[in-house]
Amino acid sequence: MTGFAVVSSQYEPSDLTVDNLGNTAPAFRAMALVLMASRLALTAQYGLVFLYVRIYTKTVVPLASSMAVLFIASMFFLGTYFGFPGDFNNPAATDRHIYIGWLVWTGIIAGSY
């Protein structure tokens, strides 16, 4: 939660331009790592629950599918980290709208439940 609070103050997709790239791109890259870490933490929590309730056969598939969706989402968020420009001198790396992927994947995660 602290990571979201720190990064959210600089979350402004319209500022991801050549002029403001030095200020906003690091915040977006940090948000990608925070999103990845939170999904991995949820995967680990579900994994621990899975270990305790695996004897109940009706819980295996739902928990395993939730864990799979969260793990895939965490890898996607890790991929978005590399989608944001790290080379501020490269004009081809600017004006990316990779943050829209965050919204899409969040919708997929919500729909999977």
pLDDT tens for each residue of 57-81? 898 999 999 999 999 999 988 888 8
Residue pointed to by tokens 């919708």? 107
Burial class (CB in 10 A: 0-12, 13-18, 19+), 50: middle
Mean pLDDT of 91-108: 70
What stretches of the chain show up as alpha helix (H) in DSSP?
Answer: 2-8, 21-53, 60-83, 99-112
Nearest partner of 106 among 61, 76, 79, 85, judged by Cα:
76
Mean pLDDT of 71-99: 72
Angle value at C-alpha 88, between 38 and 91, nearest 5 degrees: 115
Nearest partner of 7 among 91, 74, 84, 68, judged by Cα:
84
pLDDT tens for each residue of 1-29? 566 666 666 666 665 555 555 566 677 77
pTM, rounded to two decimals: 0.74
